[in-house]
Amino acid sequence: MNFSEVFKQTNQLCKVSPDGKYLATCVQYRLVVRDVSTLQILQLYTCLDQVSHMEWSSDSLFILCAMYNRGLVQVWSLEQPDWHCKIDEGSIGLVSSRWSPDGRHILNTTEFHLRVTVWSLCTKAVSYIKYPKACQKGIDFSRDGRYMALAERRDCKDYVCVFVCDDWHLLRHFETETQDLAGLEWSPNGCVLAVWDSCLEYMVLLYSLDGRLLSTYSAYEWSLGVKSVSWSPSSQFLAIGSYDEKVRILNHITWKKITQFEHPAIIDNTKTVYKEAEKRPGVGSDEMPLHNITMGATLFNTQSKYEICPLPVQIPVVKPDPDRASPKIGISVLAFSSDSRYLATKNGGFQVQSLNWHCSGDSLILLGKEQLCLCYMDTDQEDK
Amino acid sequence: MGEWWTTETSMENYEISSISHVTMSPSRRNNLVSMYSFPLSKSSYSVISAFCTEDNIPQCISYINQELASLGLSSTCIEAISPGGTGLSTVPALNAMYELLQIHRRSMCNLEELEREQLRKSSTLEHIQMSNTRLKDQLELSIREKSGLHETERQLQLKIKTLQSCLKTEKDEVQKLQSVIASRASQYSHDAKRKEREAVKLKERLSQLLIDRKDKKLAIDVLNCLGRADGKRRHWKTTKATSSHEDEMYKSLLSDYEASQRSLMLENAELKKVLQQMKKEMMHILSPRQPSTRGATADDSQEQADLDGEAKGGDASRESLDQYCEHAREQLTNSIRQQWRKLRNHVERLDSQASQAQNQLESNKEVIPRETHEDEMERMRCEVQQCREFIHAQQQLLQQQLNTSFDDETAALLNDCYTLEEKERLKEEWRLFEEQKRNFERERKNFTEAAIRLGREKKAFEEDRASWLKNQFLNMTPFTHRRRYSSSDGQSALSIRSEPEIRMSSVKSQLAKSSTYTTFSTPRPSQSAPVPSTTELYRTLRLIPDSSSSRHSNRGRWPECSNIEDGETLVRPKNRLRSGGMSIFSLGEDENSFT
């Protein structure tokens, strides 16, 4: 694997455009756009303040730069460098800013989540959405970009608003049976909305597109509940990772649990466990065992090697402090492969920032704090 | 002493009985004593008289002296007053009597004492015996009590254990709940703190705003408006638009449901097929091709299988056609359950028989049944496999047939139709092929005719040329009218030739159309040797565009040399043909364009 030279960036703001041709990075208050293949600088824009958030529009023509300190959003065009757009939220402040799926509207969440302002770049019109909820994942767009689900909290009750992204018309507004809604996510086929409660209560609710409650699922009571939720790309499965270190999979026909995966500290039942042993002393070894998956080792660094550990293997687990809130136990990251055959999970406090599958579905990239690992699946040996 | 008395009591029985009534001290139970004391007081005379008579006095005296000596009273002896006399000396006799009395008294005392002792001892013995029994009873009682206490102790121990385990579980649960409570409490406090911080920020901001009061208006500043991403114009918000949104939403939901229903139906059909297959296989396994050891059970199963077969015959059509009928589904599942039960019973029977065989027979005999059993199993497996394949094939065919839902006749008819269609098509193709073959023959014939004609024309042309040359040669003077005449001859020849050219054009068009024919056409050798072959002709035709430029130059070249005559002869007809050929080509192209 070859690496290019190091480019400066701030705030981890470094994104490739959706069409894969350009790379945008933010350095302090400048926005640098490079060509992906040659890494030459194509454009250079200057914002008014340090950029807190940067996002490409879906058609890769525009870039949004949000400056939360000043409550400003600036939009730059790739085709016309002298086109400019500045959105000033005024005294109401800005907490988050994002594109709509059509790439022509910007949704700004004001400070204290007082409201969500929808700015239209086509007509300069403004719409407001009141009482948005401040939670883990309060806004989600469906994959085809037609609908937006937004969590609302009014009079100490949770509601879900479904908007049509075409003209921001409120399609459905219904109350949910959660105590404290923590997040919502559309299924990839856009017909089912999964809504889950905060970690104080294990509750996952499934609503259909028109607001009917299809099913509820609650695995247990009283202990800390759902930590992360993920749909499979075929919309057939819903994986729920919880604080009890288990992943439960629901099927889309009956919405009942079909299987659950455990993450015990002593691994006994998987096929192979690969352990990276680094030759440098003093640095700990990373392990990432994945359930029911055979991994092909890849040597990307001559200094580290992967060796196969004989079962059973004990994972070095650090018991988190139970007195602290949001303890670092439980399943925090779930990722399905693109053909819905494999599920990669991260349990506990391991230093894994993200898990991403390749679109062909047979390789996985693990990003750690200082390390990067590519896993290739040997699909011939898989007999599941 | 007792023995002594018994010897004498026979003499004194009536006296003793008279004495027995005399009252004595109650402690004297001994009759011997009572009998002993009295005969001395009363009829002692009769007793003595029995012992001693007047004639045996010295014997008696000596006897008594002996007795006394034996008693230890040797000092006192009885003496007679005079030897042979009947009297006794009184002093020794009285002494003896006194001694005897003393002895008697002493012995009586002893006796009394002994009796007393005996009484005492017997009473203590009784007492001890009683206490012994009492103690034994007590001991038994206490042993029983002890065992009872052991028992209760054991039960209590058990209870303690269970209670301890309960306690442990309760403690664990309590701990768990406590930890849950603790985490929840920490979560709540965390949330509460966060909310409080946010509230504080709000308050600060509110106060700031109230104090500041210089509103920074929110605004958007865009250079120019953008078009929509999908190029459409913005719509007005009307009720039609809202209803269309609703429609779209419902449409997408419906399509998703339909897709899932379709996949579910497919799955369902697959599973039903599998079930049916399984049922057939099971029935086949249970069918009476088994060895006769099964006997009556086989018959039963056969009957059942027949019944099932009949039912199934009706079922199959119903099941596959009415696949969504509840009744058919129930029937299928019931029949499968039945078959499965039978199969299971059968297998159980086999197992029991096998185990029986193992138990009963000897080792060498054991092997044989098992072997035969295994052979049978193998055979059955093969049969099952074959039958399965057969059934699968049949099922496929059946499925095909039943999909169209026709009965046998029309199915046969359909099959016939299909073959008929095939035949028709084949005939058609043959016809076309024949036609094309004929066409080709015709073309070839034409071609050869044309070649022949060409040859003849060439010859004629040669003759013409020769004549022309001759004319030329003969008429050296420039008589232009003659030359014009000859050229008109040539032109007439040309015009004449245009006809076959036109005819050839059709040939060429066909050739152009079906150029493939020429590649494998066997070039028939032309009848006259100087006539070029068809391939050569074709080649020359091909060369026509090249020679078009050299049209004029050729005319001038004619008189030049003769060794290129052949080439010229080739060239000429080339030219001739070229003019037609150009038209031919254009015609051919037209033809091509039309085809």
The total of other beta-carbon atoms located within 10 Å of residue B387's CB is 16
Nearest to B209 among A91, A147, A191 (CB): A91
Which amino acid, one-letter code, is at B401?
A: Q
CA distance, residue B185 to nearest chain A CA (Å): 9
Q: Do B252 and A119 touch (CB under 8 A)?
A: no
pLDDT greater at residue B16 or residue A73? A73
* Beta partners for residue A56, in sequence order: A63
Is the residue at B183 inside a domain?
yes
What is residue B169's predicted lDDT score, i.e. its pLDDT? 96
What is residue B366's predicted lDDT score, i.e. its pLDDT? 53
Q: Are B235 and A65 spatial neighbours (Cβ–Cβ below 8 Å)? A: no
pLDDT at B211 over 90: no
ipTM: 0.73
Residue B88 is classified by DSSP as B
Q: Do B220 and A146 touch (CB under 8 A)?
A: no
Is the residue at B129 inside a domain?
yes
Is the residue at B123 inside a domain?
yes
B191 neighbourhood in chain A, CB within 8 Å? 325
Identify the top-confidence range among A32-46, A297-311, B229-243, B404-418.
A32-46
B209 neighbourhood in chain A, CB within 8 Å? 91
B248 neighbourhood in chain A, CB within 8 Å? 146
Q: Do B248 and A146 touch (CB under 8 A)?
A: yes
Q: Number of C-alpha atoms within 13 angstroms, CB side, residue A276?
A: 24
d(CA B106, CA A200): 116
The CA-based angle B460-B461-B464, given to 5 degrees, is 90
B400-447 pLDDT, tens digit per residue, is 877 765 566 776 777 777 788 899 999 999 999 999 999 999 999 998
A contact test, residue of B189, B191, B222 with most A CBs within 10 A: B222
B contact test, residue of A113, A124, A202, A226 with most B CBs within 10 A: A124
Q: Would you call A336 an interface residue with chain B, using a CB distance cutoff of 8 Å?
A: no
Q: Are A75 and A62 spatial neighbours (Cβ–Cβ below 8 Å)? A: yes
Using only C-alpha atoms, chain A has a radius of gyration, in whole angstroms, of: 22
Q: Do A90 and B226 touch (CB under 8 A)?
A: no
Angstrom CA distances, A346 to A1, A268, A377, B453, stand at: 25, 18, 17, 93
pLDDT at A189 over 50: yes
CB environment B543-569: b (16+ within 10 A), e (fewer): bbeebeeeeeeeeeebeeeeeeeeebb
A353-383 pLDDT, tens digit per residue, is 778 888 777 778 877 777 777 777 665 543 3
SS3 B411: helix
B130: containing domain: 89-213
Is the residue at B362 inside a domain?
no
A121 neighbourhood in chain B, CB within 8 Å? 222, 225-226
d(CA B249, CA B240): 14
Identify the CA nearest to A87 among candidates A79, A97, A77, A78: A97
Closest residue, chain B, to A187 (C-alpha):
B256
Q: Are B534 and B523 spatial neighbours (Cβ–Cβ below 8 Å)? A: yes
Closest residue, chain B, to A320 (C-alpha):
B183
What is residue B233's predicted lDDT score, i.e. its pLDDT? 63
SS3 B28: coil
d(CA B222, CA A120): 10
pLDDT at A107 over 90: yes
**CB within 8 Å of chain A, chain B residues 21-80:** none
B268-311 pLDDT, tens digit per residue, is 999 988 888 888 888 887 776 554 444 444 444 444 444 444 44
What is residue B214's predicted lDDT score, i.e. its pLDDT? 63
Query: What is the arithmetic mean of pLDDT over B231-250?
Result: 76
Q: How does residue A92 score in pLDDT terms, banded at 50, 70 and 90?
A: confident
B564-580 pLDDT, tens digit per residue, is 444 444 444 444 444 44
Q: Would you call B175 an interface residue with chain A, using a CB distance cutoff of 8 Å?
A: no
d(CA A168, CA A118): 9
pLDDT at B34 over 50: no
Residue where the block lists tokens 């439980």: A330
Tokens of A155: 């009079």
Nearest to B252 among A91, A209, A323 (CB): A209
d(CA A226, CA B112): 111
The total of other beta-carbon atoms located within 10 Å of residue B409's CB is 8
Tokens of A231: 């749909």
Burial class (CB in 10 A: 0-12, 13-18, 19+), B91: exposed
Q: Would you call B224 an interface residue with chain A, using a CB distance cutoff of 8 Å?
A: yes
d(CA B473, CA B478): 11
Q: Do B245 and A169 touch (CB under 8 A)?
A: yes
Q: Are A24 and A15 spatial neighbours (Cβ–Cβ below 8 Å)? A: yes
What is residue A240's predicted lDDT score, i.e. its pLDDT? 92
CA distance, residue A37 to nearest chain B CA (Å): 26
Q: Are A249 and A225 spatial neighbours (Cβ–Cβ below 8 Å)? A: no
A contact test, residue of B178, B203, B249 with most A CBs within 10 A: B249
- The torsion of the CA quartet B186, B188, B193, B195, rounded to 10 degrees, works out to 160
Q: Which range has the worst mean pLDDT, A201-210, B15-24, B357-366? A: B15-24
What is residue B294's predicted lDDT score, i.e. its pLDDT? 45
Residue where the block lists tokens 């042979």: B84
Write the CB contacts of A43 (distance below 8 Å, at least 6 apart in sequence): A31, A32, A33, A76, A78, A81
The percentage of residues in chain A with a pLDDT greater than 70, rounded to a whole number, is: 84
Is the residue at B153 inside a domain?
yes
Q: Would you call B211 an interface residue with chain A, using a CB distance cutoff of 8 Å?
A: no
Query: What is the arithmetic mean of pLDDT over B176-195?
Result: 87
Query: What is the arithmetic mean of pLDDT over B490-510?
Result: 48
d(CA B583, CA B509): 10
Using only C-alpha atoms, chain B has a radius of gyration, in whole angstroms, of: 78
CA distance, residue A289 to nearest chain B CA (Å): 28
Is the residue at B149 inside a domain?
yes
B435-478 pLDDT, tens digit per residue, is 999 999 999 999 899 899 889 988 998 898 898 888 888 887 66
Write the CB contacts of A147 (distance below 8 Å, at least 6 apart in sequence): A141, A162, A163, A164, A165, A171, A186, A190, A209, B249
Q: Would you call B229 an interface residue with chain A, using a CB distance cutoff of 8 Å?
A: yes
B371-392 pLDDT, tens digit per residue, is 788 888 999 999 999 999 999 9
d(CA B316, CA B335): 12
What is residue B71's predicted lDDT score, i.e. its pLDDT? 82
* Beta partners for residue A75, in sequence order: A64, A85
The total of other beta-carbon atoms located within 10 Å of residue B483's CB is 14
Is the residue at B70 inside a domain?
no
**CB within 8 Å of chain B, chain A residues 248-267:** 252-253
B160-170 pLDDT, tens digit per residue, is 999 999 999 99
A167 neighbourhood in chain B, CB within 8 Å? 234-235, 237, 241
Residue where the block lists tokens 């004619």: B558
Q: Would you call A272 an interface residue with chain B, using a CB distance cutoff of 8 Å?
A: no
Number of separate domains in chain B: 1
pLDDT at B75 over 50: yes
Tokens of B147: 């065992």
What is residue B526's predicted lDDT score, i.e. its pLDDT? 43
What is residue B369's predicted lDDT score, i.e. its pLDDT? 65
A324 neighbourhood in chain B, CB within 8 Å? 186
What is residue B591's predicted lDDT score, i.e. its pLDDT? 44
Residue where the block lists tokens 């299809």: A214
Phi, then psi, of B266 in degrees rounded to 5: -60, -45
pLDDT greater at residue A126 or residue B88? A126
Residue where the block lists tokens 């809604």: A181
Q: Would you call B252 an interface residue with chain A, using a CB distance cutoff of 8 Å?
A: yes
Q: Would you call A173 an interface residue with chain B, using a CB distance cutoff of 8 Å?
A: no
Q: Do A252 and B260 touch (CB under 8 A)?
A: yes
**CB within 8 Å of chain B, chain A residues 280-319:** none
pTM: 0.54
Nearest to B220 among A82, A124, A222 (CB): A124
Q: Do B253 and A209 touch (CB under 8 A)?
A: yes
Q: For chain A, how many residues are written?
A: 384
A340 neighbourhood in chain B, CB within 8 Å? none
Closest residue, chain A, to B253 (C-alpha):
A191
Q: Do B182 and A122 touch (CB under 8 A)?
A: no
Q: Would you call A128 an interface residue with chain B, using a CB distance cutoff of 8 Å?
A: no
d(CA A288, CA B97): 134
Q: Do B252 and A253 touch (CB under 8 A)?
A: no
Identify the CA nearest to B68 among candidates B57, B79, B56, B82: B79
Q: Do A146 and B215 touch (CB under 8 A)?
A: no
Q: How does residue A287 score in pLDDT terms, banded at 50, 70 and 90?
A: very low
d(CA A214, CA B260): 15
What is residue A321's predicted lDDT score, i.e. its pLDDT? 72
A contact test, residue of B198, B208, B220 with most A CBs within 10 A: B220
d(CA B537, CA B454): 10
Write the CB contacts of B57 (distance below 8 Å, at least 6 apart in sequence): B80, B86
Write the CB contacts of B414 (distance below 8 Å, at least 6 apart in sequence): B404, B406
Task: Assign 3-class secondary structure to chain A.
Answer: CCCCCCCCCCCCCEEECCCCCEEEEEECCEEEEEECCCCCEEEEEECCCCCCEEEECCCCCEEEEEECCCCEEEEEECCCCCCEEEEECHHHCCCEEEECCCCCEEEEECHHHCEEEEEECCCCCEEEEECECCCCECEEECCCCCEEEEEEEECCEEEEEEEECCCCEEEEEEECCCCCEEEEEECCCCCEEEEEECCCCCCEEEEECCCCEEEEECCCCCCCCEEEEEECCCCCEEEEEECCCEEEEEECCCCCEEEEEECCCEECCCCCEEEEEECCCCCCCCECCCCCCCEECCCCCCCEEEEEECCCEECCCCCCCCCCCCCCCCEEEEEECCCCCCEEEEECCCCEEEEEECCCCCEEEEEECCCEEEEEECCCCCCC
Q: Would you call A102 an interface residue with chain B, using a CB distance cutoff of 8 Å?
A: yes
Q: Are B560 and B478 spatial neighbours (Cβ–Cβ below 8 Å)? A: no
Q: Do B187 and A325 touch (CB under 8 A)?
A: yes
Q: Do B182 and A117 touch (CB under 8 A)?
A: no
Closest residue, chain B, to A75 (C-alpha):
B222
Is the residue at B341 inside a domain?
no
Identify the top-confidence range among A67-81, B38-52, B124-138, B504-518.
B124-138
What is residue A277's predicted lDDT score, i.e. its pLDDT? 56
User: Kind and range of the H or E element at B69?
Assistant: helix B57-71
Q: Average pLDDT of chain A?
A: 81
